[in-house]
Amino acid sequence: MSTADTVDPDRNEPVDHDTVPPARTGLLVLAGVLLALPVIALMWVSSYSRDEPRLGGFPFFIWYQFLWVFLTSALTYTAYRLVLVARPHRPMDDLGAGREWAADHGTASDVSRGERA
Amino acid sequence: MSDINGVALFVLVVLFAAVTGMGFWASRWRRPTSMESLDEWGLGGRSFGTWITWFLLGGDLYTAYTFIAVPAAMWAAGSVSGFFAVPYTIVLYPIIFIFMGRMWSVSHRHGYVTTADFVRGRFGSRGLSLAVAVTGFLATMPYIALQLVGIQAVLEVVGLGGGDSVLAKDLPLFIAFALLAAYTYSGGLRAPAVIAFVKDTLIYLVIIVAIIYLPTKFGGWTHIFDAAQTKMAKPNPVDGKPTGVFIPGATQYWAYATLGLGSALALFMYPHSITASLSASTRNTVRRNAAILPAYSFVLGLLALLGWVAIAAGTKPIGADGKPNAQLVIPQLFEDAFPSWFAGVAFAAIAIGALVPAAIMSIAAANTFTRNIYKEWLKPDATVEQEARVSKLASLVVKLFALVFVLLLDKQNAINFQLLGGIWILQTFPTIVLGLYTRWMHRWALLAGWAVGMAYGTYEAWNVANPRAGINHFGGSLANMPVIGQLGYIALTAFVINLAVAVVLTLVLRAVKVPDGDDETIRGDYFADSGDPRVEKVKQPLHQEAPSI
């Protein structure tokens, strides 16, 4: 993700597309944690391989895993919203793209333009 | 068993005919200007939105064989063999969420239709690309054959297929497959996309009705779970060990976890999963789908429990040949417990459920053959029209092969090969998924890791005996894991060995400076979305590219 810094959104120069588009690393890590939770929970079989407590006749082993269907869906959707915010799409039609990107991200481009000036 | 259930058969035939009509109509649905390219025929124009993709992927991944085999495993051997499908199809989605966006983007930019296309472009290695293509092709073939086994199970319970003459016995299956082949040929991926709506709706309907109605009929859930626990604890006459597993004990944790994780990692390496994913219209369509596809996992879990409902119901799955056959347990339960007309709906759900994956799998296998064998090795200057034509023909050949496979060989062969297919396909994971992130791995190291994983997995699977079924080889997918010393999924053990070989050899090859292949992708390609232009293909060595679309 460190390569994000090398992107120059200046309107006069085309974006180098052989770079990773800039992202907010913290949000990506958070999304990664949300996605890892279901995998860890379900691979940890000893935490749920028991009969009690039953729920409506269903052994814990069964209903707990059904519960994770819904939790995983919610966690994955949250991760989806997070990555959309974390890494906005950087269009790839070069010059125009750079301008559009800069317009959407006023602060970042202002800073870089300021440095140039 | 020899009695034909007339009402159920009538409902089955009517629904099947309706779906066939839709299949033929599909080539006109969202009509492209021309079907004469793999993008249109093989990927539905890469135009499917969130909901079509949801139905298509759901219809594709949750196959008729799954619907037959998972409850059958629950009925016969309990939760480790059957219920692992639930954690499997849960952890699947966070995993594909992570890499499928990149896969979609790079494929969109470069016009990749298969994973082997991507490997060719990323690593500049025809050998590695061929290995991935052949693995995908081999793993898919028995999977198609098993969809036929799903249809056969339904036909057998409804009373067909019991005749003595070969023709009468297999004619219904033959007709079903001929129709499938015809509309897949004309409609391409649009055909299963249209049928998937019907398939998924019927499946949801049948399973929800079954899960609400059947427990009331067979003494409630407490009684059902007690009956399952009693059956699983009963010693098996062959070896004196318990029949199966009600809830995994300490020695089965690894088996349960590795079956789930290994299967989840493998599923999206199959060509048919990739085909359905790449047909999505945007990068985010697939990622959004990762959040809504678990709905199918929920249904699959309920379906698995029907295997235990059948224990409480005392279902006796006896085949047309008079022998017990666990694969028939769900159709038999439906026939015993439902009024005939609804049993017919349930049978149609399973039979139609076989058509969607069979169509997508044959398209995916055909695309793989066309792009990575025909065009890469046989006719490098093939035009897009020729590609589409070869792919259409290949889809017919693939289906014909599956039919012959099921009709002439023992069903057990298809099951053995499918088991092997799962082990094999996971060995392409390091190349494909790590390749989406890094080129650090050396192409020859990946190829060597793949070869070792394939050989180890095949050998271990061959070595698994199942005395209860009276077979000495390919008796299951679990074997002792080195170092850990517990039973685990062979595919995952082979995968770890594969990865270790690839890493060590990469270090060696980097040390002696063996050159990398050319990478035609750039970092930005992995984040492209639908508005971004396709890369204009430059002329590659040995290639005369077709004019791009």
A40-60 residue pLDDT tens? 999 999 999 999 899 999 999
Among candidate residues B487, B436, B128, B93, the one with its CA nearest the CA of residue B297: B93
- A20, A21, A57: residue with CB nearest B220: A57
Residue A13 pLDDT: 62
**What's the confidence (pLDDT) of residue A109?**
37
What is the nearest CA distance from A66 to chain B, expressed in angstroms?
Answer: 7
pLDDT for B416 equals 78
| B275, B196 contact by CB (below 8 A) | no
pLDDT at position B453: 97
- Res. B276 pLDDT band, cuts 50 70 90: very high
B169 vs B232, higher pLDDT: B232
pLDDT of B475 reads 83
Q: Please tell me the distance from the alpha carbon of residue B136 to that of residue A89, in angstroms, as a whole number.
A: 32
- C-alpha distances (whole Å) from B88 to each of A65, A68, B327, B399 are 11, 12, 21, 28
* Cβ atoms of B151 and B171 closer than 8 Å: no
Domain B6-427 coded CATH 1.20.1730.10: yes
Q: Are B258 and B88 in contact (CB under 8 A)?
A: no
Look up residue A22 and give its DSSP letter: P
Q: Which amino acid is at B237?
A: P
Distance CA A10, CA B539 (A): 33
Query: Which among A18, A59, A73 has CB closest to B292?
Result: A73
Predicted confidence band of residue B527 (pLDDT cuts 50, 70, 90) = very high
Chain B segment 262-291 residues within 8 A of A by beta carbon are: 283-284, 287-288, 290-291
Domain ranges of chain A: 2-101
The answer to whether residue B548 scores a pLDDT higher than 60 is no
The two three-digit tokens of residue A28, written as one number: 């990506």
CA distance B361 to B384: 21
Residue whose tokens read 């299967």: B263
Contact state of B91 with A42 under an 8 Å Cβ cutoff: yes
Q: What is the pLDDT of residue B239?
A: 83
Residue in B222, B292, B531 nearest the CB of A91: B531
Chain A interface includes B339 (CB < 8 A): no
Q: Where are the domains of chain B?
A: 6-427
Measured between beta carbons, the chain B residues lying within 8 angstroms of A90 are 524, 527
Complete DSSP assignment for B36-70: -SHHHHTTGGG-B-HHHHHHHHHHHHS-HHHHHHH
The confidence band for B168, taking pLDDT boundaries of 50, 70 and 90, is: low
Angle at which helices B411-426 and B384-408 pack, to 10 degrees? Answer: 130
pLDDT of residue B133: 96
Contact B94 A57 (CB under 8 A): no
Nearest to B361 by CA among B302, B425, B409, B436: B425
Which residue is associated with the tokens 């094999």? B424
B301–A69: do the CB atoms touch at under 8 Å? yes
> Any CB–CB contact under 8 A between B187 and chain A?
no
The larger pLDDT score, comparing residue B208 to residue A97, is at B208
CB B280 within 8 A of CB B286: yes
Token representation of residue B83: 């219920």
Q: What's the pLDDT band for A24 if we cut at 50, 70, 90?
A: very high
pLDDT in tens, B472-512: 888 888 999 998 889 999 999 999 999 999 999 999 999 99
Tell whether the model's pLDDT for residue B412 goes beyond 80: no
pLDDT tens, B87-106?
999 999 999 999 999 999 99
Residue B526 is encoded by which pair of tokens?
């992995």
Q: What is the pTM of this model?
A: 0.88
Which backbone phi and psi does B466 adopt, to 5 degrees?
-130, 90
CB–CB of B27/B191 below 8 Å?
yes
Task: Please name every residue paired with B480 in a beta bridge, in sequence order, or none if there are none.
Answer: B487
Whether the CB-CB separation of A1 and B437 falls below 8 Å is answered with: no
HEC assignment per residue over B130-182: HHHHHHHHHHHHHHHHHHHHHHHHHHHHHCCCCCCCHHHHHHHHHHHHHHHHH
Question: What percentage of chain B exceeds 70 in pLDDT?
Answer: 95
Interface test with A, best of B50, B74, B91 (most A CBs within 10 A): B91
Q: What is the mean pLDDT of residues B192-199?
A: 91
Average pLDDT (B178-191) is 90
Q: Binning pLDDT at 50, 70 and 90, where does residue B545 land?
A: very low
Reported as a single tens digit per residue, the pLDDT across B233-268 is 999 888 888 888 999 999 999 999 999 999 999 999
Q: Which of B90, B212, B252 to probe the A interface (max A CBs under 10 A)?
A: B90
Cross-chain residue pair B294–A49, CB shorter than 8 Å: no
Inter-residue contact B94 to B287 (CB < 8 Å) = no
- Residue B89 has, within 13 A of its CA and on its CB side, a CA count of 26
Where is average pLDDT lowest: B80-84, B100-104, B151-155, B338-342? B151-155
Distance from CA of A115 to the nearest CA of B (A): 25
Q: What is the mean pLDDT of residues B78-83?
A: 90
Spell out the SS3 assignment of A32-70: HHHHHHHHHHHHCHHHCCCCCCCECCECHHHHHHHHHHH
Q: What integer pLDDT is reported at residue B476 of this predicted model?
A: 85
C-alpha distance from B372 to closest chain A C-alpha (Å): 27
Which among A6, A4, A12 has a CA at the least distance from the CA of A102?
A: A12
Please name every residue paired with B471 in a beta bridge, in sequence order, or none if there are none: B466
Average pLDDT, chain B: 89
Give the per-residue pLDDT at B167.
61
- The Cα B106–Cα B102 span in angstroms is 6
Question: Would you state the pLDDT for residue B66?
Answer: 85
Give the ipTM of the model, two decimals please: 0.90
How would residue B142 be classed by pLDDT, with cut points 50, 70 and 90? confident
Q: How confident is the model at residue B375 (pLDDT cuts 50, 70, 90)?
A: very high
Distance of CA B378 to the CA centre of its chain: 28
CA distance B338 to B335: 6
Q: 3-state DSSP call for residue B269? A: coil
- Six-digit token string for B129: 């690309």
d(C-alpha B470, C-alpha B473), whole Å: 10
Contact B246, B228 (CB under 8 A): yes
In this structure, the dihedral spanned by the alpha carbons of residues B301, B304, B310 and B312, taken in order and rounded to 10 degrees, is: -60
Q: Indicate if the pLDDT at residue B170 is higher than 90.
A: no
DSSP assignment letter at B482: T
Residue A31: closest C-alpha in chain B: B98
Query: Dihedrals φ, ψ of B488, to 5°?
Result: -150, 170
Alpha-carbon distance of B62 to B516, in angstroms, equals 39
Q: What is the mean pLDDT of residues A3-7?
A: 45
Per-residue confidence (pLDDT) for residue B176, from 0 to 100: 86
Q: How confident is the model at residue B289 (pLDDT cuts 50, 70, 90)?
A: very high
B211/A contact by beta carbon, under 8 A: no
Spatial CB neighbours of B56, under 8 Å, sequence gap ≥ 6: B48, B192, B193, B196, B276, B279, B356, B360
SS3 B491: helix
B319-371 pLDDT, tens digit each = 777 788 888 899 999 999 999 999 999 999 998 888 899 999 999 999 999 99
Distance from CA of A111 to the nearest CA of B (A): 23
Q: How confident is the model at residue B417 (pLDDT cuts 50, 70, 90)?
A: confident
Residue B206 has pLDDT above 50, yes or no: yes
In this prediction, residue A12 carries a pLDDT of 52
Report the C-alpha gap between B410 and B413 in whole angstroms.
6
Nearest to A39 among B94, B225, B533 (CB): B94
| B294·A56 Cβ contact <8 A | no
Does B305 touch chain A if contact means CB atoms closer than 8 Å? Answer: yes
The two three-digit tokens of residue B199, written as one number: 């398939």
